[in-house]
Chains A and B, each alone.
Chain A
Amino acid sequence: MSGATEAVQARAEILKLARALNRDAGTLHYLEGVAADDLRAFRHQVIEALWSADGAAMGKLAAASKLLPAGVNATISERALGPVITAQLAARLDPARAIDVAAKLSTPFLADVAVALDPRRTSAVIAGMPPHRIGEITAELVRRGEYVTMGQFVGHLSDEAIRAALGAMDNAELLQIGFVLEDKARLDRLLALLPPGRLDGIITAAVEQDLWLEALDLLAHLSAARRRRIIATARSFQEETLDRIVAAVIEHELWEEAQLIAEADPGLQVRLGLARR
């Protein structure tokens, strides 16, 4: 992992930790030098501590909710509990019951809940959500720029739900979500679910939006076959694009990742060779 990629992963973890602690991420700036893996482990410890702190009260709330119809529970969630407590409650309900309640919640509120949700405790609820709702929630989260939140959920979604989510984002957004994905081993599967036309547009999105850090990181996590397929769509790059790739490589020290794409473009190989001298 390049220094730039590690730094972005660490920042994504700090953002998630700040949300768990109800703090502004800027107040935790001193954690930027800590490894992303350590920050993730620490965040899990914090969530565990908060989860067990009010376990008895949350348990009673969950028991009470079982006495009420799903529609009343949804009203109470939106008007009284709010997204953070609803997210905790979702982890304590029977998944089928939680999915029934979620069906009655508005999409903006579900997006708020998604931001506060611990996917490890609610995997069955996330997996059981109808794909069209996943698509709607994704569209709302994309609109808010909540890439870090979406990056936590991919590993818990069915293929059908992932297709619905992919339909709610463009390739530039996909690159940004892929960059902060919690489990990068999922990237190849994620791209396998893209329609062929979309796969061909990945490099185009990197060119148009100047997302080379994200694109090179993505390529580094794909199977050799899929990487070749994406790179083949690029053919040869324009001069201006070559300049931008080389600039990203120098700025973020992505020499290793850049070789993956340079193999298919002699012009880029030459430029990288000159830049490294």
Chain B
Amino acid sequence: MLDTGGVPSTSTELEALRAHLGDAPPAGLRSLPDVHLADLADAISQARRHQREALAAAGDRALSHVPRLLRGPIRRVVG
């Protein structure tokens, strides 16, 4: 990973992080160099993708442990 030790940012990287969080990050984070702000935004994006994929896979696996009689009602709830 690059460590620029660079200049605090008011950049698109900060805006990307703000968009992921729905709010501005705390002051101590806002003064990080762009490369680190971009890394944090990317980490949140990857974590969301990982969570979405894990959830989809878990839902499929879970159904195989549900008693057969209840699978229909469960499918209707899950949609």
Interface residues of chain A, those whose CB is within 8 Å of chain B, are: 20-23, 27-28, 30-31, 34-35, 37-39, 41-42, 45-46, 48-50, 52-54, 57-58, 60-61, 63-64, 67-68, 72, 75-76, 79-82, 84-85
Output the least CB separation between B74 and chain A (Å). 5
A82 contacts B54, C-beta separation under 8 Å: yes
A54 contacts B52, C-beta separation under 8 Å: yes
Residues in B38-79 with C-beta less than 8 Å from chain A: 39, 43-44, 46-48, 50-52, 54-56, 58-59, 61-62, 64-67, 70, 73-74, 77-79
Output the least CB separation between B32 and chain A (Å). 7
Interface residues of chain B, those whose CB is within 8 Å of chain A, are: 1, 3, 20-23, 25-29, 32, 36, 39, 43-44, 46-48, 50-52, 54-56, 58-59, 61-62, 64-67, 70, 73-74, 77-79
B65 contacts A20, C-beta separation under 8 Å: no
B28 contacts A81, C-beta separation under 8 Å: no
Q: Which residue of chain B lies nearest to A56 when distances are taken between CB atoms in the complex?
A: B79
B58 contacts A82, C-beta separation under 8 Å: yes
Residues from chain B with a CB closer than 8 A to the CB of A79 are 61, 65
A38 contacts B27, C-beta separation under 8 Å: yes
